């Protein structure tokens, strides 16, 4: 690769511009096809991975801009508070249902991952890495570490789970015939943390707020359950 070009790839603008381009293509494809598989996040990630691989651009070059985009995840999670605050009445009236839902989801998550991983004959360290895969990354890494798991494998599982949740949420809602926005939001937040929550926000204000609450509560519940049972 010639010097000038690699210098361009090293610029943070490269990662940011590439991400915006690929995401826009994903959004466009999604509008054109209306297929859940044309998920903007999935399309953008696959496109970027392909481009980096084909042009032999190191991930570290992309990350110069990537870290700047990731930096917004913290503030984006924090301002979920505003979405929740706008729905505070609903939250207060239905706190028992919301709590039961996140608890059931967190328990099913741990149990089902354990059963499936055992069925696949995975070793203990791998199982420990996968157990917290439904909760937000920092909490998941902590649980994984305490159980003797591998942080990087946990991150991969968390991200894949999030993308699956983001893709499948609309179809699952239709399949399950769940019409209540509170149930939808809690379901998405519990099964696919913040990545799913970003889809819940697109579905509606109530869905987004409930998903935000569910992602924080399921994180806490999963910590407690993991420490008690594993």
Partner 1 sequence: MNILGQVGIVFGICLLGELISAILPFTFPASIIGMLLLLLLLGTRTLKIEHIGAKADFLLQNMTFFFIPAGVGILEHVQLLRGRWWQLLVICFVTTILVFVASAGTVSAVLAFQRAKRRNRGSGGEEATP
Among 38, 61, 149, 162, binds partner 1 (CB under 8 A): 162
Among 82, 124, 148, 204, binds partner 1 (CB under 8 A): 82
Among 38, 62, 132, 147, binds partner 1 (CB under 8 A): 62
**Could you tell me the smallest distance in angstroms from the CB atom of residue 214 to partner 1?**
7
Using the minimum distance from each CB to partner 1, give the nearer residue, 29 or 73.
Answer: 73
Among 17, 55, 81, 224, binds partner 1 (CB under 8 A): 81
Q: Is 56 left (phi over 0), alpha (psi -120 to 50) or beta?
A: left
Which residues have C-beta within 8 Å of that of residue 207, sequence separation ≥ 6?
181, 184, 185, 188, 200, 201
Using rule CB under 8 A, residue 90 touches partner 1: yes
Using rule CB under 8 A, residue 156 touches partner 1: yes
Number of residues that bind partner 1 (CB under 8 A): 112
Using rule CB under 8 A, residue 108 touches partner 1: yes
Using rule CB under 8 A, residue 25 touches partner 1: no
**Using H for helix, E for strand and C for coil, what is the string for the chain?**
CCHHHHHHHHCHHHHHHHHHHHHHHHHHHHHHHCCCCCCHHHHHHHHHHHHHHHCCCCHHHHHHHHHHHHCCHHHHHHCHHHHHHHCHHHHHHCHHHHHHHHHHHHHHHHHHHHHHHHHCCCCHHHHHHHCCCCCCHHHHHHHHHHCCCCHHHHHHHHHHHHHHHHHHHHHHHHHHCCCCHHHHHHHHHHHHHHHHHHHHHHHCHHHHHHHHHHHHHHHHHHHHHHHHHC
Distance between CA atoms of residues 184 and 178, nearest Å: 7
Considering only residues 185 through 214, tell me which ones interact with partner 1, judged by CB under 8 A. 186-188, 190-192, 194-195, 197-199, 201-202, 208, 212, 214
Considering only residues 26 through 55, tell me which ones interact with partner 1, judged by CB under 8 A. 40-42, 44-45, 48-49, 52-53
**Could you tell me the smallest distance in angstroms from the CB atom of residue 5 to partner 1?**
20
**Could you tell me the smallest distance in angstroms from the CB atom of residue 192 to partner 1?**
6
Among 14, 61, 113, 132, binds partner 1 (CB under 8 A): 113
**Could you tell me the smallest distance in angstroms from the CB atom of residue 2 to partner 1?**
24
Using the minimum distance from each CB to partner 1, give the nearer residue, 4 or 90.
Answer: 90
Binding mask 114-133 for partner 1 (x = CB under 8 A): --xx--x-x---x---x--x
């Amino acid at each position: 690769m010639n010097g000038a070009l690699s210098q361009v790839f090293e610029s943070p603008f490269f990662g940011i511009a590439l991400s915006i381009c690929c995401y826009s293509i994903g959004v466009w494809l999604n509008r054109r096809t209306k297929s859940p598989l044309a998920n903007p996040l999935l399309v953008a990630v696959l496109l970027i991975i392909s481009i980096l691989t084909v042009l032999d651009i190191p991930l570290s070059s992309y990350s110069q801009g990537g870290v700047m985009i990731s930096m917004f995840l913290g503030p984006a999670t924090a301002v979920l508070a505003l979405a929740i605050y706008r729905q505070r009445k609903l939250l207060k009236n239905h706190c028992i249902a919301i709590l039961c839902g996140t608890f059931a989801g967190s328990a099913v998550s741990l149990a089902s991952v354990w059963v499936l991983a055992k069925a696949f004959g995975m070793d203990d360290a791998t199982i420990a890495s996968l157990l917290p895969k439904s909760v937000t990354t920092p909490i998941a890494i902590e649980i994984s570490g305490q159980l003797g798991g591998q942080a990087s494998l946990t991150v991969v599982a968390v991200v894949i789970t999030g993308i699956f949740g983001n893709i499948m949420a609309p179809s699952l809602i239709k399949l399950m015939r769940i019409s209540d926005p509170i149930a939808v939001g809690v379901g998405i937040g519990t099964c696919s943390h913040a990545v799913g929550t970003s889809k819940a926000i697109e579905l509606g204000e109530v869905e987004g707020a409930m998903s935000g609450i569910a992602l924080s509560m399921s994180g806490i519940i999963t910590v407690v359950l993991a420490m008690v049972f594993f």
